[in-house]
Chain A
Amino acid sequence: MDFLIWHLLRDSLRRNPEKEALVHGAERLSYRELARRTAGLATGLRQHGLKRGDRMGIYLDASVQQVVSIFGASEAEGVYVPVNILLHPEQVMHIARDCGMKGLITTSAKLEALAEVLPQIPSLEFLVVTGAGEVPSGINVPVHRYEELCALDSPGSWRETSIEKDLAAILYTSGSTGKPKGVMLSHANVVAGSRIVSTYLGITENERILAVLPFSFDAGMNQMMTAFEKGGTLVLINFMFAREIVKVLLKENITGLAGVPTLWSLLAQPNSTLDKQPLTSLRYITNTGGAMPQPVLKILRQHLPATKVFLMYGLTEAFRSTYLPPEELDKRPTSMGKAIPDTEILVLNEQGQLCKPGEPGELVHRGPTVSLGYWNRPEETARALRPNPLLPSEMGDCEKVCYSGDLVKMDEDGFLYFIGRRDTMIKSSGVRISPTEVEEVLFQTGKLRGAAVIGLPDEMLGQVIKAFIVAKDGQTVDTEVLLADCAQKMPRYMVPKFVEILSELPKTSSGKVDYPALRRREGL
């Protein structure tokens, strides 16, 4: 019976061990080879002390090693924590400390950058380094070689104690305040998400899926799971220009591609060469992480006449939520679709009652992909996951549903339309950004008395960040220097694009920053 994440891989291995499972550049792995490395790594991680439920960080770029690490950690009954490669050491440290990371897999180059924060991660017991690079000196925990672990002989099978209710992964994501929070996904969440999405996308063993989205992002991870669940092939890519994606689509006969609006905008530009040759293999594309701009959608449909376009919506806390069937695209191009199979989407008003068609309310998700909440944050979990208000009281609080914080409305046929956020969270290039996290970094420069950031609409990125700042008395602030200081502490997508110096920030009567007033200043 298949109920754990790595069972998806095991089942496809049994069905067709020589089938191509994973491709990255010149590297090609069959299911047999992928499973062998995964089992070797799992054996090594266990030998070095990883136990059921221990958190294993994976800080790697898109690579065979990254995929093997995810499944290896999982097969060792650990919890994998994929860390976005764009994050800086300070943010990696936050994640490692927050989840009590026991082991971390990374490259020697990244390890060098991390060396100075490692002593501040008390839970860390060992490291695994990929590639042949030298291990920097002064690291005070054992460092093992990934390649050596992968080559270990697996004892065949060990007594597996995990069940589907167990924690499988923690994905870090931002909200409207504070530092990123870890969304806890059970094996049941991830497996259900894979089965649901592979069903409505009609994924089969013939699928060749190109992974552009990172696996630290729920949609990226889900895409990988669907490929392995069905015994298809997953192709990885690192790219600089959209043109390289088009080349791989052709060369590898890619049948499925998931992206965020920014990726589609890049592909819709003439220099992507998307229109130069027909991509006859490309059966479907899926969009998530924000609405696809209508002009971009039009160009893609022109250049990809035989490709089905699925517009999707999901939030990490509920993994996957809605999709618009391709046949509805002409009728409702601005819709985010309706509930995925085995899922119900409720639109609730402030009183917790169902909204009428057209009435704005909060999107509330119920189904098997509702996550376990945030790691070590009971209060925030209680706000995001609440008892289903529509159950008969006799049932008690037996079911938790996910309050998304997204305002939507539903039409007469049950299709949903996005209106906006309930809070101040910013989304750029599909990535959630907490205004307070950016503001904290601005304050760390020591030059500011006030700082507030908002999202401005941007055609390419969805939103970009604008910062309003107030200098400390007697200080003059050079905004270019300020942004340079910020850029050292956080990834590029979090660094404000615009800065305006104010003498005071607008405040509400209770003395808090008046964000709506700042948005009005920008005509929003």
Chain B
Amino acid sequence: MDSNEARIREFVMKTFPLARKNGIKADEKWLETGMMDSLGILDLVQFLEKEFAIHVSDDELLPENFESLNSVVSFVNARQGGVLKS
């Protein structure tokens, strides 16, 4: 597991009680499982900006960037690699 993924996992485990109970499957969609709601996703975005010192622009606020652990990890990895996804 790369360290970005570990840091994101840790935040999700700490912030969303259902994640602690059921664990996090990499491709499970947060909204569909009820682990997060749209406010929870915004907390996640805020965490990513701070933790990884990145700026998430309005155009990047797309479900495909944040819907699951996989999508969040690839978004952060891509941003750190300098590739913009919007």
Contacts and interface: CB of A to CB of B under 8 A. Distances in A.
B17 A483 contact: yes
A86 interface: yes
A240 B39 contact: no
Interface residues of A, number: 27
A251 to B, nearest CB: 15
A498 interface: no
State the majority secondary structure of interface residues on B.
helix
Given A243-B61, A244-B63, A262-B39, 20 more contacts: A86-B37, A239-B38, A240-B63, A240-B67, A241-B38, A241-B42, A266-B39, A266-B42, A271-B61, A273-B58, A484-B18, A484-B20, A487-B21, A488-B18, A488-B22, A491-B34, A492-B18, A492-B36, A492-B37, A493-B37
Interface string B20-54: 11100000000100111111111000000000000
B16 interface: yes
Interface string A485-513: 11110011101000000000000000000
A460 interface: yes
A68 B42 CA distance: 33
State the majority secondary structure of interface residues on A.
helix
Q: Nearest 6 CB-CB pairs, A to B?
A: A487-B17, A484-B20, A487-B18, A483-B17, A484-B21, A484-B17
B17 A460 contact: no
Given A243-B61, A273-B58, A486 B17 contact: yes
A266 B35 CA distance: 19
Q: Which of A239, A483, A492 is packed against the most chain B CB atoms within 10 Å?
A: A492
B34 A86 contact: yes
A460 B39 contact: yes
Interface in B33-86: 34-42, 58, 61-63, 66-67
A315 to B, nearest CB: 23
Q: Which of A241, A242, A484, A495 is packed against the most chain B CB atoms within 10 Å?
A: A241
A242 B37 CA distance: 12
A432 interface: no
Contact of A271 (B16, B39, B40, B58): B58
A481 interface: yes
Interface of A: 86, 88, 239-244, 262, 266, 270-271, 273, 460-461, 480-481, 483-488, 491-493, 495
A461 B22 CA distance: 26
18 contacts: A86-B34, A88-B34, A240-B31, A240-B41, A240-B67, A241-B63, A270-B58, A460-B39, A461-B39, A480-B17, A480-B20, A484-B17, A486-B17, A487-B16, A487-B17, A487-B18, A487-B20, A488-B22
B61 to A, nearest CB: 4
Contacts of B38: 239-242, 266
A483 B34 CA distance: 15
A495 B41 CA distance: 16
A240 B66 contact: yes
A337 B62 CA distance: 37
A123 to B, nearest CB: 26
Contacts of B62: 241
B49 to A, nearest CB: 11
A484 B42 CA distance: 20
B58 A485 contact: no
A272 to B, nearest CB: 8
A309 to B, nearest CB: 22
Contacts of B18: 484, 487-488, 492
A338 to B, nearest CB: 32
A363 B76 CA distance: 52
Contacts of A244: 63
A431 to B, nearest CB: 11
Contacts of B20: 480-481, 483-484, 487
B34 A492 contact: yes
Contacts of A262: 39
A447 to B, nearest CB: 15
Contacts of B16: 487, 492
Nearest to B20: A484
Nearest to A109: B32
A88 B14 CA distance: 21
B31 to A, nearest CB: 6
